[in-house]
C-alpha cells in the first residue's frame, strides 16, 4: 500500500467541505504525526479509522528543523521522509517547497480535489474551491487556475 502523509490544513479544509472521505477513497489510509493530530482535534475530535496517527521513530531531519516550519508541517515532512511516502499532502508554500527539495511528491487541498474529480468521485472542482475561498482558505490565483485547468474546468 502506498504511504500517504497529511498535514492539518488539508484535513480541516476537506472536513469543512464535507469531503474528508475523498482521502480514504483516493488512498485507503492516510498517516499523520502527533502534532497534526493535535492541530486537527478542535475540528475533528474523533478521527476516522483510516487516518492513522504514527509516531516518528527518529528525530526530524535537521534540514526540516532549520526550515522554521510549524510543528505540524515539520512532523508531517519528517514522517513522510521516514515512511518514504509516495505523497505528502500539505498546503503551506514553504513546506511544499521543502518537500519537493527533499524529493517528496506533494499535493495540496486543491490538488486532492482535482484528483478526486479525475477519479470520478466529485463532479466538479470549481464550486468546492469557491466554497473554500468563501471560508477564508487562502489559495493563490495561480494555483486555482492550474487546478481548474488540470480538472478540465478552464
The yes-or-no verdict on residue 112 having pLDDT over 80 is yes
Please, how many CA atoms are within 13 Å of residue 70, restricted to the half-sphere of its CB? 19
Q: Rounded distance, CA 47 to CA 25, Å? A: 16
Residue range 116-129: mean pLDDT, rounded = 96
76 near 32, Cβ under 8 Å? yes
pLDDT tier, 56 (very low <50, low <70, confident <90, very high otherwise)? very high
**3-7, 49-53, 54-58, 149-153: which has the minimum mean pLDDT?**
149-153
78 near 87, Cβ under 8 Å? no
Which homologous superfamily does the CATH classification assign to the domain defined by 1-154?
5'-nuclease (3.40.50.1010)
Full-model pTM: 0.94
The yes-or-no verdict on residue 141 having pLDDT over 70 is yes
3-state helix, strand, coil in the chain (%, to 5): 50, 10, 40
Residue range 79-104: mean pLDDT, rounded = 95
Query: What is the predicted pLDDT for the residue at 88?
Result: 98
Nearby residues of 80 by Cβ (< 8 Å), 6 or more positions away = 3, 5, 88, 99, 104
Cell 464550486 belongs to residue: 127
13-43 pLDDT, tens digit per residue, is: 999 999 999 999 999 999 999 999 999 999 9
Amino acid at each position: 500500500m502506498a504511504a500517504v502523509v497529511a498535514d492539518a490544513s488539508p484535513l480541516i479544509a476537506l472536513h469543512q467541505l464535507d469531503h474528508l472521505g475523498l482521502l480514504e477513497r483516493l488512498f485507503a489510509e492516510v498517516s499523520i504525526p502527533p502534532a497534526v493530530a493535535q492541530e486537527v482535534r478542535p475540528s475533528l475530535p474523533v478521527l476516522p479509522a483510516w487516518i492513522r496517527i504514527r509516531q516518528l521513530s527518529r528525530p526530524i531531519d535537521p534540514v526540516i528543523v532549520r526550515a522554521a516550519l510549524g510543528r505540524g508541517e515539520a512532523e508531517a515532512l519528517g514522517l513522510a521522509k521516514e515512511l518514504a511516502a509516495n505523497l505528502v499532502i500539505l498546503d503551506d508554500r514553504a513546506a511544499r517547497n521543502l518537500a519537493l527539495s527533499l524529493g517528496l511528491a506533494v499535493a495540496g487541498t486543491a490538488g486532492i480535489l482535482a484528483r478526486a474529480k479525475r477519479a470520478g468521485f466529485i463532479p466538479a472542482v470549481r464550486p468546492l474551491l469557491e466554497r473554500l475561498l468563501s471560508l477564508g482558505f487562502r489559495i493563490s490565483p495561480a494555483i486555482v487556475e492550474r487546478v481548474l485547468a488540470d480538472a478540465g474546468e478552464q
